[in-house]
Amino acid sequence: MSWIDFLDHTADLYPFKTALVEQQSGRRLTYQELNHEVTRLAQLFASNGLRAGDRLAYLAHNNLEHVTFFLACAKLGALFVPLNFRLSVGEIKEILERIEPKLFLGRGEWKIDGFEMQNPDDLKMTIDQVQLTEVGLKAPLLMLFTSGSTGTPKGVLFHGEMLKSNQTETCRGWGLKASDVAMVETPFFHTGGYNVLCLPLLSLGGTVIIAEKFDVTNFIETVQSEKVSVYFGVPTMFQMISEDSRFNQIDFSSMRFFISGGAHCPVELIKTYQAKNLMFKQGFGLTEVGPNCFLLDEGDAIAKVGSIGQPMPHTEVLLMKDDGTPAKDNEVGELMLRGPHVTCGYWNEPERYRESLLDGFFKTGDLAQRDEEGFYFIAGRIKDMYISGGENVYPAEVEKVLRSHPQILEAVVVPVPHQKWGEVGMALLRSEKEMELSEVNHFLGDKLCRYKQPHFVKQLSQFPLLASGKIDKVLLKEKAHRWMQTGEWV
């Protein structure tokens, strides 16, 4: 059995139902048309030399081809590599040199020295029929590169078993239906583009609307015109939607639930949506383990607001403290996950992959704690934690309290050097009015102990974002350190 066999099944069940919608062109494919197009593309790619194990790199903004090209590669057992169009030409070239693609296709004006990007329309069909063979579930089919915020980007491999597990667990855990309509605005070069809603819904017979990019106006219009029922975004996207003057007039009658992921979502933001009787769930995942590892039903999303939920049925969880012992209830530890949804490796980096595992558990780098009822809460990232006067400080904890202030819209805490305490916190705020350090710490006074309170405050009009839509904390930390040295925010 091949992973891609699911497409034959949905095409048989729902031949004339809309599977994919490409917003920028208005193109729509039924499941029957999608299946035929994927088979045609597999034949086209094979005509141009693509074989099992080869890499096809694709560089373009979000479009329908990200899905059809990937599924066509899966039919051949080839690896599909969607490239991050926000990278510099030099960064893209470095990735291409590492993966050595058999085909490099794209839409746009990129010029990569040493690599010729072909327009897919220029490919020629030279084979009348491709003899497709079964592609095993352990064969890698998709490669997504991490953002590289902690070093050289890693090429994360997805094999058929991982993709199938994610589809099954997501459909079951979140109660997805064949009648659901999803809008995808997150980029396909990140796991959220494919794995949160797109592939799970295509395995059920749902409808996926592909937007070129995130835009609040387009979101509002599409939710209402296409009757979107499920939507995934990162917290920054939900913040922008909620701050729009039209938020209270949007017709959300078709929406069953929102899913937030990619970064910890502030409780206050979740409550903003819940106040409109909208179901809002905090998800958890990452490229290496898939985007859907925890289950949070509707009742628990309200009763346990801020929780990522309980593990999916086939997800094993380990919380490990700094001293190498398992964390007890309400103790903070590194979140480690094991299951069929975990990546099979990094492209050509076996040692780096081995270092990411502990007895088969993938070390996520996220800090979490579990309450007495088995619900998990994210406490921050290990790399974000700093030590002030010998005490561990988790910025996510401080940020959570800061965001509860009625005039603070967004908050990021980064560590900066301090002669006496080693490191102290600097609060970067986007707020409705200028706030002094004394005012901030007066608010925090009975909520956080002294060593957790920031020593510096800086107002920002906006935060820099990564390609994933998450706040670029690495850049903010660099700017904060430079500001401490020079007094200039550049």
User: Mean pLDDT, to the nearest integer, of 382-404?
Assistant: 87
Residues 298 and 359 in one domain: yes
Of 370, 399, 432, the position where a domain reaches its end is: 370
Cα dist from 66 to 19, 187, 213, 457, whole Å: 14, 10, 13, 43
* Angle at alpha carbon of residue 287, lines to 284 and 292, rounded to 5°: 35
Tell me: pLDDT of 387 over 90: no
Tell whether 376 is covered by a domain: no
Reported confidence tier of residue 146, pLDDT bands at 50, 70, 90: confident
H helix or E strand, kind and range, residue 481:
helix 473-486
Per-residue model confidence as pLDDT tens digits over 202-247: 999 999 999 999 999 999 999 999 999 999 999 889 999 999 999 9
Tell whether 110 is covered by a domain: yes
Pair 223, 209: CB distance under 8 Å:
no
- How far is the C-alpha of 261 from the C-alpha of 233, rounded, in Å? 6
Per-residue model confidence as pLDDT tens digits over 47-99: 999 999 999 999 999 999 999 999 999 999 999 999 999 888 988 999 999 99
User: Mean pLDDT, to the nearest integer, of 357-363?
Assistant: 95
Crossing angle of the two packed helices 267-274 and 235-243, in degrees rounded to 10:
50
Q: Hunting for tokens 């395995």 — which residue is that?
A: 203
User: Mean pLDDT, to the nearest integer, of 264-292?
Assistant: 91
Per-residue model confidence as pLDDT tens digits over 366-375: 999 999 999 9
Q: What is the DSSP letter of 242?
A: H
* Domain limits for position 478: 385-486
Per-residue model confidence as pLDDT tens digits over 159-181: 999 999 999 999 988 899 999 99
Give the end-to-end CA distance of the chain in Å, rounded to a whole number: 55
Tell whether 482 is covered by a domain: yes
Tell whether 375 is covered by a domain: no
Residues 362 and 416 in one domain: no
Residues 285 and 365 in one domain: yes
Q: Hunting for tokens 């039924």 — which residue is that?
A: 30
DSSP 18-52: EEEEETTTTEEEEHHHHHHHHHHHHHHHHHTT--T
Tell me: pLDDT of 382 over 70: yes
Token readout for 308 is 């990522």
Residues 454 and 411 in one domain: yes
Residues 291 and 404 in one domain: no
Residues 362 and 393 in one domain: no
- How far is the C-alpha of 158 from the C-alpha of 21, rounded, in Å? 25
Residues 348 and 398 in one domain: no
Residue 389, pLDDT score: 83
Q: Which candidate, 167, 208, 265, places its Cα nearest to that of 469?
A: 265
User: Mean pLDDT, to the nearest integer, of 397-401?
Assistant: 90
Residue 148, pLDDT score: 52
Tell whether 42 is covered by a domain: yes
Residues 399 and 290 in one domain: no
Of 370, 393, 408, the position where a domain reaches its end is: 370
Tell whether 378 is covered by a domain: no
Residues 113 and 260 in one domain: yes
Work out the widest C-alpha separation in the chain, in whole angstroms: 75
Residue 263, pLDDT score: 78
H helix or E strand, kind and range, residue 160:
helix 160-174
- How far is the C-alpha of 444 from the C-alpha of 472, rounded, in Å? 25
Of 342, 370, 398, the position where a domain reaches its end is: 370
- How far is the C-alpha of 132 from the C-alpha of 50, rounded, in Å? 12
SS3 208: strand
Per-residue model confidence as pLDDT tens digits over 100-131: 999 999 999 899 999 999 999 999 998 777 77
Summary mean pLDDT of the chain: 93
Q: Hunting for tokens 């002669």 — which residue is that?
A: 419
CATH number at 236 reads 3.40.50.12780
Tell whether 454 is covered by a domain: yes
Tell whether 191 is covered by a domain: yes
Per-residue model confidence as pLDDT tens digits over 416-439: 998 888 899 999 999 999 999 999
Q: Which candidate, 295, 227, 240, 239, places its Cα nearest to that of 271?
A: 239
CB hemisphere CA count around 11 (13 angstroms): 15
Residues 219 and 365 in one domain: yes
Tell me: pLDDT of 147 over 80: no
CATH number at 417 reads 3.30.300.30
Residues 305 and 434 in one domain: no
Residues 448 and 337 in one domain: no
Instruction: Name the domain count of the chain.
Output: 2
Residue 380, pLDDT score: 84
* Percentage of the residues of the chain whose pLDDT score is greater than 90: 78
Residue 151, pLDDT score: 58
